[in-house]
């Protein structure tokens, strides 16, 4: 067939009459970056965000605009001026900051620590000075573990362990610590662990690690560790601190004590020790000559306190071997008598002793105290506390001047003999005759008749409630004498009110010989011309005189809803 006779070819179909439905697009409600691989803590934007200035921001740079910022900076000091300030000015600011958080002998430690940490973030100058102030007097936190976070894979550490790790990693911080203070919460934990087997990572273990990292440590206060087998590592760490200046021993016969040689050799490196307190019960046997061997190893000793030692460990002869200290406290020592105490007047302590405290020695003779006050020419503070009252020697005729007490240097007197006697009248006569020319304050809780209150400056009149009067009546109803400082305070205020009710003189107001008014002025207790202050305030807690237990164990306190800590030190015993 001829090609020309063929019908034309049908063209290939390129379209279709059937309309193809488009595939529906999925609506995405998240950015495209979400399909990419995510990284923790990162996010990628599709476009770079840009900030558009507002009209007033555009107008701010024009001169005379009301939106322009002030450019007068001539009154501000340049930043470099603060860096050129001497270190003493920064230290003065920190001292005043500490005074803001301190009230008498209590301190708001948490608030002070928070402010010091904030100052560390100001600049390098403040950081170095505030950090030094923060670690110089280091308050230890408790050893309770912090509550673990819900989704945290790490176990929570206590603040005390964190402090241990910080001192280990930053070795330079240990050189800044001079004083370690133990708070009330940590003291309870240490006291519980002291009589239990020693455990690693315990509060005792953390304490001994901290002490070993503090090379310039001078004192650990707030809690006195009892000497037991569990506390031996801590005591060994303290024994290695050559700059230590204060230490207190607590020995209990019912507990396992460290060896005698170990107890003596702990003092070998304490050549800078100035304050030493040894408290024990009569059941502790230290051995003859132990106290002398210890004191011989302490050439810098200035303040010594001895509590409750056995008569064979501390007696009259031991007083003659004491070094020339400035402060001496003798309490509940059965080996001491009037003759031994009187020997202090003729020993080498007569030229150095400035503070003398006698507690529970039950001195019999008033002549012993008379000899002490007259021969201790540098004595500034004298305190005696016992049950009975010392009396003049029996069989000796006493005149007005034979038993008079006198001291040319005494400034503070604490006289607390529970049972009244003639010694208080002898003391009142001596003060009235000006035999204590430098005396400026006395504390006599046993002044039942107010004989010494009349010789001092009048005290402030305080408000007495009905509960106070009931408290006074409750504690004075019996014939038995009770040592209660609050009762003494109320009795002094009652004497002030009774004297005020008695007329002293009348004020008559006249106008041209016409009587207008008449006022009666009440009397008062005391001598306005006296320079002696009559004090009945407590020293630590409710006691008129600080006791060893007050210093050894802190008590949790709170003021205005804030937990505060009491600053306890061994020097409060003198």
Confidence band of 18 (pLDDT split at 50, 70, 90):
very low
State the chain's mean pLDDT as an integer: 85
Can you give the pLDDT at residue 382?
A: 98
Q: What is the mean pLDDT of residues 242-248?
A: 95
Reference 159, options 177, 146, 176, 174; nearest CA is 146
Report, in angstroms and rounded to the nearest whole number, the Rg of the chain calculated over CA atoms: 39
* DSSP line for 140-209: E---PBPPPPTT-SSPP-BHHHHHHHHHHHSHHHHTT--EEEE-HHHHHHHHHHHTS---TTSHHHHHHH
Inter-axis angle of helices 159-169 and 203-213, to 10 degrees?
Answer: 30
Residue that wins the pLDDT comparison between 161 and 146: 161
Cα 297 to Cα 159: distance, rounded to the nearest angstrom: 37
Backbone conformation region of residue 403, classed left if phi is above 0, alpha if psi is from -120 to 50, else beta: alpha
Residue that wins the pLDDT comparison between 74 and 57: 57
Residue that wins the pLDDT comparison between 171 and 558: 171
Confidence band of 511 (pLDDT split at 50, 70, 90):
confident
CA–centroid distance for 138 within its chain: 12
Confidence band of 533 (pLDDT split at 50, 70, 90):
very high
User: Cα dist. 516→310, 504, 511, 522 in Å?
Assistant: 75, 20, 7, 20
Query: Do the strands 102-103 and 106-107 form a parallel or antiparallel pair, or are they unpaired?
Result: antiparallel
* DSSP line for 234-253: HHHHHHT-TT--EEEEEE-T
Can you give the pLDDT at residue 532?
A: 95
Cα 213 to Cα 567: distance, rounded to the nearest angstrom: 23
Residue 520, pLDDT > 70, answer yes
Q: Which residues contact 278 (CB under 8 A, 6 or more apart)?
A: 248, 249, 251, 291, 305, 306, 307, 309
Can you give the pLDDT at residue 17?
A: 46
User: Cα dist. 88→91, 95, 154, 176 in Å?
Assistant: 5, 10, 43, 17
For residue 466, give the 3-state DSSP assignment: helix
Cα 217 to Cα 237: distance, rounded to the nearest angstrom: 11
Answering whether pTM is above 0.75, one says yes
Residue 196, pLDDT > 90, answer no
Q: What is the mean pLDDT of residues 511-525?
A: 79
User: Cα dist. 312→44, 333, 359, 548 in Å?
Assistant: 84, 10, 19, 22
Confidence band of 55 (pLDDT split at 50, 70, 90):
confident
Q: What is the mean pLDDT of residues 327-339?
A: 95
Q: Tell me the pLDDT tens digit for each residue of 88-129.
A: 999 999 999 999 999 888 889 999 999 999 999 988 888 999
Can you give the pLDDT at residue 378?
A: 95
Q: Tell me the pLDDT tens digit for each residue of 355-403.
A: 999 999 999 999 999 999 999 999 999 999 999 999 988 755 555 556 7
Cα 375 to Cα 302: distance, rounded to the nearest angstrom: 20
Reference 531, options 459, 441, 450; nearest CA is 441
Q: Which residues contact 109 (CB under 8 A, 6 or more apart)?
A: 101, 139, 183, 564, 565
In contact, 236 and 205? CB cutoff 8 Å = no
Residue 30, pLDDT > 60, answer no
- Span between the terminal Cα atoms of the chain, in Å: 142
Residue that wins the pLDDT comparison between 367 and 15: 367
């Amino acid at each position: 067939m001829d090609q020309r006779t063929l019908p034309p070819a049908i063209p290939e179909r390129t379209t279709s009459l059937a309309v193809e439905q488009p595939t529906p697009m999925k609506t995405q409600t998240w950015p495209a970056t979400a399909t990419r691989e995510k990284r923790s803590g990162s996010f990628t934007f599709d476009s770079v965000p840009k900030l558009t200035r507002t009209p007033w921001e555009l107008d701010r740079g024009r001169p005379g605009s009301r939106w322009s910022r002030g450019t007068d900076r001539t009154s501000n000091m340049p930043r470099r001026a603060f860096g050129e300030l001497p270190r003493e000015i920064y230290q003065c600011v920190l001292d005043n900051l500490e005074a803001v958080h301190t009230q008498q002998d209590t301190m708001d430690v948490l608030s002070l620590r928070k402010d010091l940490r904030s100052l560390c973030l100001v600049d390098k100058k403040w950081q170095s000075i505030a950090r030094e102030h923060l670690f110089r007097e280091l308050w230890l936190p408790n050893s309770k573990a912090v509550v673990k976070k819900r989704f945290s894979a790490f176990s929570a550490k206590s603040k005390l362990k964190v402090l241990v790790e910080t001192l280990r990693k930053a070795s330079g911080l240990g050189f800044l610590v001079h004083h370690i203070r133990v708070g009330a919460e940590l003291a309870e934990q240490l006291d519980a662990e002291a009589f239990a087997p020693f455990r690693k990572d315990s509060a005792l273990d953390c304490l001994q690690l901290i002490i070993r990292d503090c090379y310039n440590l001078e004192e650990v206060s707030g809690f006195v560790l009892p000497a037991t087998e569990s506390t031996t590592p801590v005591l060994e760490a303290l024994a290695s601190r050559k700059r230590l200046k204060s230490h207190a021993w607590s020995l209990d016969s019912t507990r396992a004590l460290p060896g005698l040689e170990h107890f003596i050799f702990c003092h070998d490196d304490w050549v800078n020790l100035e304050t030493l307190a040894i408290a024990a019960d009569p059941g502790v046997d230290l051995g003859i000559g132990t106290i002398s061997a210890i004191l011989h190893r302490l050439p810098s000793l200035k303040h010594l306190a001895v509590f409750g030692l056995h008569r064979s460990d501390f007696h009259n002869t031991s007083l003659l071997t004491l070094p020339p200290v400035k402060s001496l406290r003798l309490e509940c020592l059965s080996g001491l008598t009037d003759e031994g105490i009187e020997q202090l007047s003729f020993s080498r302590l007569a030229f150095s002793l400035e503070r003398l405290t006698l507690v529970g020695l039950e001195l019999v003779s008033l002549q012993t105290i008379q000899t002490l006050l007259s021969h201790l020419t540098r004595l500034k503070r004298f305190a005696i506390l016992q049950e009975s009252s010392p009396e003049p020697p029996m069989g000796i005729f006493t005149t007005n001047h034979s038993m008079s007490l006198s001291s040319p240097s005494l400034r503070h007197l604490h006289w607390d003999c529970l049972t009244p006697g003639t010694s208080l009248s002898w003391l009142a006569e001596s003060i009235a005759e000006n035999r204590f020319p430098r005396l400026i304050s006395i504390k006599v809780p046993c002044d039942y008749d107010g004989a010494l209150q009349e010789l001092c400056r009048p005290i402030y009149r305080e408000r007495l409630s009905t509960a106070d009067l009931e408290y006074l009546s409750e504690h004075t109803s019996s014939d038995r004498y009770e040592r209660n400082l609050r009762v003494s305070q109320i009795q002094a205020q009652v004497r002030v009110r009774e004297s005020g009710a008695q007329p002293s003189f009348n004020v008559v107001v006249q106008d041209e010989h016409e009587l207008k008014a008449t006022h009666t002025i009440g009397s008062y207790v005391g001598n306005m011309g006296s320079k002696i202050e009559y004090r009945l305030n407590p020293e630590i807690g409710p006691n008129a005189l600080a006791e060893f237990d007050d210093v050894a164990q802190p008590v949790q306190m709170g003021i205005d809803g804030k937990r505060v800590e009491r600053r306890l030190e061994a020097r409060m015993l003198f």
